[in-house]
């Protein structure tokens, strides 16, 4: 065979081998997934519950109308600082003042009648004593007359005269007793008239007092929706009455926020919080949780579930009050605010990026462990590892890089930080876990070959798809 033919055959064989090798490499690379990774490392974690709301004073009161009438005087304006007892407003009080004066006169008349009734009672009691003495004396005369008449020592006319005198004295005693009873009744009636007059005076004095509005405590007038000359009314049944003003004690400031129902179970009294106020940017204030609402509030309507007659499937929130410890003096009620409550803190705990967590079925785990040359992943010793899974057949875990393969390892988790989550069981420090992309994590099979490329950017559409 000629040399050029041998050379041609050799070249052809080399080309075929190159094609076979290239095809084999291409096919094998098609089954390799490109992933991004992170390390399981120890760090301090804090769980934060964020909620928005508004600034409110801890103590405030809406001063409403206690009587119907026209405002004759407003002694304050919005923003004024007032002291306890300082006069705030005055309503028209001509009629109520007249009622008080009339009832004071009635009370004085009743008291005068009571004095007269008391004097009459004492007179009647004195007459009763005199009548009792007369009756006793005439009774003795009558008894002596009976003995003398029997012995014939007095005449029949004298005997009859003494008898009639005793009968008259006895009748006078009965009459005196009746006058005492009558005087007592008149005295009791006079006393009751006094009580009645005092009650009426208290009533009208209260009505007069309701035309004046003193400050119930030291504070600031934060709202003044009325003007002098306006007529205000009291509330009746479902009709709300007029509000004269709002008085707030600005010495203790709170941030009242609404926490989602899924987060409220982690919020406790006394937990620290960081508060930001939209009107004061780039500044953080500190506080503690001082109140947690017991009733859920429907997010769309703002109505408490306890006030609804039917169950609602809408999203619900709970009121949480954070008392600020370093509130500035120029805060105003109603300013929009955001509170970040630290519900849990762990120091130097093993953690991985949150996006590394994924779910796989027990069947996929079995396929991974039973594959030839596979690396077995031990399940964590903590019970109920899959307690957060959608079904009992799913396990929560992460993919760990071992021998260039993605090995699914079930894990038990603890608290969640801003970007990382605590791993209680299943990993050790330094393990390299797959963190992305989301599209790859969602479809990655346990035991698949992977290629690490941490320089590849994570596409936003993959993370949000």
Characterize 28-54 residue by residue with b for buried, 16 or more Cβ atoms within 10 angstroms of its Cβ, and e for exposed.
eeeeebebbbbebeeeebbbebebebb
* Mean pLDDT of the region 272-291: 94
In order of 158, 321, 333, 421, 429, the CA distances from 272 in angstroms are 111, 12, 22, 20, 30
pLDDT tens column, 100-124:
999 999 999 999 999 999 999 899 8
Q: Is a pLDDT exceeding 60 seen at residue 415?
A: yes
The CATH number of the domain covering residues in 31-46+348-457 = 2.40.420.20
> What would the pLDDT profile of 48-71 be if each residue is shown by its tens digit?
999 999 999 989 999 999 888 999
- pLDDT of 369 reads 63
pLDDT, tens only, 216-232: 999 999 999 999 999 99
Task: Return the percentage of the chain with pLDDT > 70, whole number.
Answer: 84
Predicted pLDDT at 385: 42
The arithmetic mean of pLDDT across residues 323-338, rounded, is 90
Closest CA to 404 of 33, 98, 101, 148: 33
pLDDT at residue 152 tops 90: no
pLDDT, mean over the chain: 84
Residue 88 has pLDDT above 90, yes or no: yes
Q: How far is it, in rounded angstroms, from Cα 323 to Cα 252?
A: 7
Structure tokens at 366: 């079995």
Q: Does pTM top 0.85 for this prediction?
A: no
Q: Report pLDDT digits (tens) over 17-30.
A: 666 665 454 444 45
Residue 83: how many CB atoms within 10 A of its CB?
10
Q: From CA 379, how far away is CA 370, in angstroms rounded? A: 15
Mean pLDDT of 326-346: 90
pLDDT at 387: 41
Lowest mean pLDDT, pick from 106-110, 149-153, 161-165, 273-277 = 149-153
- For 421-457, the pLDDT digits (tens) are 999 998 999 999 999 888 888 888 888 888 888 875 5
Q: Do the Cβ atoms of 299 and 53 come closer than 8 Å?
A: no
Helix 156-209 vs helix 94-150: crossing angle, to nearest 10: 170
Q: Do 245 and 89 contact (CB within 8 A), yes or no?
A: yes
Confidence of residue 308 (pLDDT cuts 50, 70, 90): low
Q: What is the pLDDT of residue 78?
A: 92
Is the model's pLDDT at 200 over the cut of 80?
yes
Strand pairing report for 81-82 and 316-324:
unpaired
Supply the pLDDT for residue 342.
93
- pLDDT at position 239 is 75
Rounded Cα distance between 56 and 320, Å, is 12
Classify domain 251-345 at the CATH class level: mainly beta
pLDDT at position 185 is 92
pLDDT score of 2 more than 70: no
Q: How far apart (Å, rounded) are the C-alpha atoms in residues 289 and 342?
A: 10
């Amino acid at each position: 065979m000629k040399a050029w033919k041998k050379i041609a055959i050799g070249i052809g064989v080399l080309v075929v081998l190159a094609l076979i090798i290239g095809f084999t490499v291409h096919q094998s690379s098609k089954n390799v997934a490109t992933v991004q990774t992170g390390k399981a490392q120890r760090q301090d974690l804090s769980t934060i519950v964020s909620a928005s709301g508004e600034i409110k004073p801890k103590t405030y009161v809406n001063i409403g109308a206690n009587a119907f009438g026209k405002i004759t005087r407003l002694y304050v304006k919005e923003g004024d600082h007032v002291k306890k007892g300082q006069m705030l407003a005055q309503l028209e009080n001509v009629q109520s003042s007249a009622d008080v004066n009339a009832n004071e006169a009635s009370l004085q008349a009743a008291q005068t009648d009571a004095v007269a009734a008391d004097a009459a009672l004492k007179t009647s009691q004195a007459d009763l004593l005199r009548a009792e003495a007369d009756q006793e004396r005439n009774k003795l005369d009558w008894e002596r007359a009976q003995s003398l008449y029997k012995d014939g020592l007095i005449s029949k006319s004298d005997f009859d005269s003494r008898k009639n005198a005793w009968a008259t004295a006895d009748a006078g005693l009965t009459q005196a007793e009746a006058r005492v009873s009558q005087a007592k009744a008149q005295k009791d009636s006079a006393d009751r008239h006094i009580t009645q007059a005092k009650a009426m005076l208290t009533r009208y004095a209260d009505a007069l007092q309701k035309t004046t509005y003193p400050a119930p405590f030291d504070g600031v007038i934060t709202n003044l929706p009325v003007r002098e000359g306006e007529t205000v009314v009291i509330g009746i049944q479902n009709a709300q009455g007029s509000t004269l003003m709002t008085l707030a004690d600005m010495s203790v400031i709170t941030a009242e926020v609404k926490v989602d129902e899924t987060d409220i179970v982690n919020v406790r009294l006394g937990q620290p919080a960081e508060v930001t106020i939209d009107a004061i940017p780039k500044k953080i204030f500190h506080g503690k949780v001082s109140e947690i609402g017991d009733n859920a509030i429907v997010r769309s309507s703002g109505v408490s579930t306890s006030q609804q007659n039917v169950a609602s499937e809408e999203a619900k929130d709970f009121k949480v009050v954070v008392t600020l410890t370093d509130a500035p003096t120029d805060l105003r009620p109603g300013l929009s605010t955001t509170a970040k409550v630290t519900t849990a803190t762990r120091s130097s705990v093993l953690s991985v990026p949150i996006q590394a967590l994924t779910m796989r079925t027990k069947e996929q785990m079995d396929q991974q462990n039973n594959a030839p040359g596979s690396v077995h992943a031990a399940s964590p010793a903590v019970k109920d590892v899959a307690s957060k899974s959608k079904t009992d057949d799913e396990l929560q875990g992460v993919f760990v890089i071992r021998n260039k393969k993605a090995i699914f390892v079930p894990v038990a988790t603890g608290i969640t930080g801003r970007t990382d989550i605590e791993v209680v069981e299943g990993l050790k420090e330094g393990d390299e876990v797959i963190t992305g992309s989301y599209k790859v994590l969602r479809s990655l099979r346990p035991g698949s070959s992977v290629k690490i490329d941490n320089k590849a950017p994570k596409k936003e559409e993959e993370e949000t798809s």
